[in-house]
Chains A and B, each alone.
Chain A
Amino acid sequence: MMIPGVDGFMYPNEVELQWSLLIVLYPYITGLVAGAFILASLERVFKVEAVRPTYRLALLTALAFLLVAPLPLQLHLGHPERSFEMYLTPHTSSAMAMFGFVYLWYLTVVLLLEIWLEYRADIVRLSQTTKGATRLIYRMLTLGSQNVSTASRIIDDKIGYTVTVIGIPSAFLLHGYVGFIFGSIKANPWWSTPLMPIVFLFSAMVSGIAAVLLLYVASMKLKKMPIDMRCIDTIAKYLFYTFVIDYTLEMLDLIHRTYEADESFRSLDFMVHTRLMFSHVILQIFLGTLLPLALLASTQLWRFTEARRRVMYVTACCCTLVGIFAMRWNVVIGGQLFSKSFLGYTSYKVQFAAREGLLMAIALMILPFLIFVVLVKLLPPWTEQKSA
C-alpha cells in the first residue's frame, strides 16, 4: 500500500512532519537577535570603535526581531492558550521550558534596559520638545526621571557596559538553547550532536551581523546619508572571521559523520543527495557559504574600490541570509524527512494559507521590518551622527 510522498518504510506515525516551516523560522529569528546583539557588543565591550555607527541600529534590529520571535511558536502550538503553563510548571529537565524565562530575561534586563540607558538622554529631550501623543509616549519612556546631568549619563554608561557584558552570555543562551533542543535528542541522529548549539550560535552570529550590515546600508541609502566605509569594512571583517569558524564547525560535523559512517549515515547521506539537494548543497553550501566566503575573503586579500566593496558586501550578506535560512531548514525539516528505522523517507509539502503555511511565514518575516521602521522613527539611531 503506497502512501503518497513516502519512499521505503516509515513508522506509521512518522509520515507526517511535526515541526513545520514556522519552527524553521523561529531559530532564524532568534539567531538574528543574538547576532545583532553580538555586533553591538563589539563596540560596547570590545571597544571596536569603527562599528559605532551601527551600535544603536543593531540594538533596534535585535529588539524588532525579538518581539516577533514568540509568534511562530505560538502559531505552531496545538494549544497556544496553555503556553503560560511554561511559566507555571516549567519542567527543569526540558530545554524548551527554559524558553519563557530566558526570553523575558533577555527582553527586559538586557535589551530593553540597554536601549533605555543608551537612549535616555534623547528620550528626555524628545519628551520636552515633541507635542501631542508622541510627547506622552516619550514621557512614559522616561519612567518619570528627567535627570540627564553629565554625572547621571556617566553612570548610565557604566551600567550599560555591565548590561552588555551580561548580555553576551544571555544572547548565547537565548539562541544556544535552541541548538541544545535539537542537539540533545538522542532519538534523531541528524540532530544529536554536541556541536549543535555551537553551530547554531555561530550561524546566528553570521546571520545577525549580515542583517545589521544590510539594514545599515539600506537605512543610509534611504536617508541619503553617507555610508561609513570604515564601519562596514570592519563589520565585513568580523563577518568573515565568524563565517570561517562557522564553516569549519559545519565541515567538522560533516567529515566526522562521513568518516565514522555509523548506522544512520547511509540513510542521511541519501537524504542530503536527494530531498535536500537544493536546500543543502546548492543553497546552504554553495550560495550561502562558499560564495559569501569567497567574496569576503577577496576583499581581505585584494584592494577593491569603495563602490565595488559595497556591492560585494551587500551580495555576500544577502547570500548569507539565504544560506543561514537554508541551514535552519535543513536541520529542522531535514531531521524529519528520514525514518528513524533508516529504511525510508517522507516529504514535506508547505501549505500556503494555513496557520503554519508559507503566507504566515512571509508575514512573520516582514513584521520585524515594520516594527524596525516604527522603532527607528521613535528612537532615531543616527541623531548623534548628524550633530557630530
Chain B
Amino acid sequence: MDISRRGLFHIGGKLLVVASVGATLEQIIGAEPPSDAYRMADHWWGMLIDIDKCIGCGSCVRACSQENNVPKGYFRTWVERYQVDENQQPTVDSPDGAMNGFAPLTRDDLKAFFVPKLCNHCADSPCVQVCPVGATFVSPDGVVLVDKEYCLGCRYCVQACPYGCRYLHPETDTVDKCTLCYHRITQGLTTACCENCPTQARVLVDFKNPQDPVHEFLRKNMVQVLKPYMATKAKVYYKDLDGSVR
C-alpha cells in the first residue's frame, strides 16, 4: 500500500478522529458527571417494548449485567418465554433470566413469544410509597432510583413491587434495581439494553421530547402495561402484549 495524498488524508483524518474520540470519551467515561447541560425538568423517561420484535437472544440481559455490574443470580432486566395454550394458560421459563438466551423449544404447536421485563419506572410507584426513609424515589425526570448510601436494606420496597424487579445487592446490602441507565441517558446515550437489542424491540422514550417517535407510536398502536389493575402508572409500554402475560 503506497502512501498517496489520498492515503495521507485518510490517515490524518483517522488520527484527528481518534483525538476527538479520546477527548469526548474522557468526558463521558470519567467518574464525575459533567456539569449540567442536562436539565431534569426537560425529560420524562419511559420505554417501549415491541413483543413482535423480541427474539429472546438475551443481549439486553448481558449488556445490562456488564454495564451495571449486576451481581450473578440477580437481574435488573430479564426475558421470559411464554407458551400459551388455547385456554390462555401460559407455561413460562426464564433460564438464568435469559442471560445466555434460551435452549430451543421442543414443540411448536403453541402460541409462543418472548417478554422482556425490567423496572417499569412507575410514576405512582408503590415501592417509593413504602420506603420508610426516602432511600428510593422518583427522580424529577421520571426514573425510579435507589440511594445506596441511604438505604437501610429493610426490603419493604422489594415486597411492594408488583413486578419483581428489585433485589437486595449481596455486596452493598442495599436494594438494587434497574436505573434506566440513568448515568447514560443523562449524557445523551441510550440505555445499555436498548443499545444492544439487535432488533430494536426495546426503545428508550422521552415523553417530554416533542420529536420523540413515541407520541406517534402511541397514537397508532395498541399498547399495554403489565398489571394495569395495580394502577402504578407504569411507563414501560408493550406493543402486542398477550393477555396471558403475568
Note whether A and B contact each other (Cβ less than 8 A).
Answer: yes
Name A residues whose Cβ lies closer than 8 Å to a Cβ of B: 1, 9-14, 16, 18-19, 76-80, 82-83, 85-86, 88-91, 93-97, 99, 181, 184-188, 335-336, 339-343
- Is B133's CB under 8 angstroms from A85's CB? yes
- Is A13's CB under 8 angstroms from B162's CB? no
Interface residues on B, range: 35 or more
Tell me whether A93 and B129 are in contact in the complex, defined as CB-CB below 8 angstroms, given that A18-B155, A78-B152, A79-B153 are known contacts: yes
Tell me whether A91 and B126 are in contact in the complex, defined as CB-CB below 8 angstroms, given that A85-B152, A186-B162, A341-B246 are known contacts: no
Give the Cβ gap from A344 to chain B, nearest Cβ, in Å.
8
Give the Cβ gap from B167 to chain A, nearest Cβ, in Å.
4
Task: Give chain B residues whose Cβ lies under 8 Å from the Cβ of A86.
Answer: 132-133, 152
Tell me whether A91 and B131 are in contact in the complex, defined as CB-CB below 8 angstroms, given that A11-B164, A79-B151, A343-B92 are known contacts: yes
Interface centre among B75, B90, B133, B167 (most CB of A within 10 A): B133
Q: CA separation between A336 and B90, bound complex, in Å?
A: 21
Interface string of B131-168 (1 = CB under 8 A from A): 11111000000000000001111111011111111111
Task: Give chain A residues whose Cβ lies under 8 Å from the Cβ of B158.
Answer: 13, 18
Name B residues whose Cβ lies closer than 8 Å to a Cβ of A: 74-75, 78, 80, 90-97, 117, 126, 129-135, 150-156, 158-168, 172-175, 230, 246
- Is A79's CB under 8 angstroms from B174's CB? yes
- Is A94's CB under 8 angstroms from B152's CB? no
Chain A's closest residue to B81 (CB) is A9
Chain B's closest residue to A23 (CB) is B155
Tell me whether A18 and B174 are in contact in the complex, defined as CB-CB below 8 angstroms, given that A12-B97, A93-B129, A187-B230 are known contacts: no
CB<8 Å pairs between A and B, sample of 17: A11-B164, A12-B94, A12-B96, A12-B97, A13-B167, A77-B152, A78-B153, A78-B174, A79-B151, A82-B151, A82-B152, A88-B133, A91-B131, A94-B129, A94-B130, A95-B130, A97-B133
Task: Give chain B residues whose Cβ lies under 8 Å from the Cβ of A335.
Answer: 159
Q: CA separation between A79 and B151, bound complex, in Å?
A: 8
- Is A13's CB under 8 angstroms from B74's CB? yes
Tell me whether A85 and B92 are in contact in the complex, defined as CB-CB below 8 angstroms, given that A79-B174, A90-B132 are known contacts: no
Task: Give chain B residues whose Cβ lies under 8 Å from the Cβ of A341.
Answer: 92, 164, 246
Q: CA separation between A13 and B94, bound complex, in Å?
A: 11
Q: CA separation between A79 and B155, bound complex, in Å?
A: 11
Task: Give chain A residues whose Cβ lies under 8 Å from the Cβ of B78.
Answer: 11-12
- Is A93's CB under 8 angstroms from B90's CB? no
Q: CA separation between A188 and B178, bound complex, in Å?
A: 21
Contact pick for B168, options A11, A18, A90, CB 8 Å: A18
Chain B's closest residue to A82 (CB) is B152
- Is A343's CB under 8 angstroms from B90's CB? yes
Chain B's closest residue to A342 (CB) is B246
Give the Cβ gap from A89 to chain B, nearest Cβ, in Å.
5
- Is B150's CB under 8 angstroms from A1's CB? no
Tell me whether A94 and B131 are in contact in the complex, defined as CB-CB below 8 angstroms, given that A78-B151, A340-B162 are known contacts: yes
Q: CA separation between A169 and B141, bound complex, in Å?
A: 42
Interface centre among A79, A95, A184, A188 (most CB of B within 10 A): A79
6 further interface pairs, Cβ-Cβ under 8 Å (given A78-B153, A79-B174, A85-B152): A11-B165, A76-B154, A78-B155, A186-B126, A187-B230, A188-B159
- Is A19's CB under 8 angstroms from B164's CB? no
Tell me whether A19 and B159 are in contact in the complex, defined as CB-CB below 8 angstroms, given that A94-B129, A186-B230, A342-B246 are known contacts: yes
- Is A185's CB under 8 angstroms from B132's CB? no
- Is A9's CB under 8 angstroms from B173's CB? no
Q: CA separation between A342 and B164, bound complex, in Å?
A: 12
Q: CA separation between A185 and B152, bound complex, in Å?
A: 19
Q: CA separation between A80 and B173, bound complex, in Å?
A: 10
Give the Cβ gap from A345 to chain B, nearest Cβ, in Å.
14
Chain A's closest residue to B169 (CB) is A78
Give the Cβ gap from B204 to chain A, nearest Cβ, in Å.
22
- Is A77's CB under 8 angstroms from B153's CB? yes
Contact pick for B132, options A78, A96, A336, CB 8 Å: A96
- Is B173's CB under 8 angstroms from A185's CB? no
Interface centre among B80, B96, B159 (most CB of A within 10 A): B159
- Is B152's CB under 8 angstroms from A83's CB? yes
Chain A's closest residue to B77 (CB) is A12
Contact pick for B150, options A13, A77, A85, A184, CB 8 Å: A85
Give the Cβ gap from A341 to chain B, nearest Cβ, in Å.
4
- Is B166's CB under 8 angstroms from A13's CB? yes
Tell me whether A185 and B164 are in contact in the complex, defined as CB-CB below 8 angstroms, given that A12-B78, A96-B154, A341-B92 are known contacts: no
Task: Give chain B residues whose Cβ lies under 8 Å from the Cβ of A99.
Answer: 132
- Is A89's CB under 8 angstroms from B159's CB? no
Q: CA separation between A13 and B117, bound complex, in Å?
A: 12
| The 6 nearest A-B residue pairs measured at CB | A78-B153, A11-B164, A78-B173, A341-B246, A187-B162, A1-B95
Task: Give chain B residues whose Cβ lies under 8 Å from the Cβ of A1.
Answer: 93, 95-96
Chain B's closest residue to A80 (CB) is B152
Q: CA separation between A121 and B158, bound complex, in Å?
A: 50
Contact pick for A14, options B91, B164, B230, CB 8 Å: B164
Task: Give chain A residues whose Cβ lies under 8 Å from the Cβ of B95.
Answer: 1
Q: CA separation between A10 and B92, bound complex, in Å?
A: 9
Interface centre among B168, B230, B246 (most CB of A within 10 A): B246
- Is A91's CB under 8 angstroms from B132's CB? yes
Give the Cβ gap from B173 to chain A, nearest Cβ, in Å.
3
Task: Give chain A residues whose Cβ lies under 8 Å from the Cβ of B75.
Answer: 12-13
- Is A11's CB under 8 angstroms from B163's CB? yes
Q: CA separation between A5 and B167, bound complex, in Å?
A: 18
Tell me whether A94 and B164 are in contact in the complex, defined as CB-CB below 8 angstroms, given that A78-B173, A85-B152, A342-B246 are known contacts: no
Interface centre among A85, A86, A91, A97 (most CB of B within 10 A): A91
Give the Cβ gap from A309 to chain B, nearest Cβ, in Å.
44
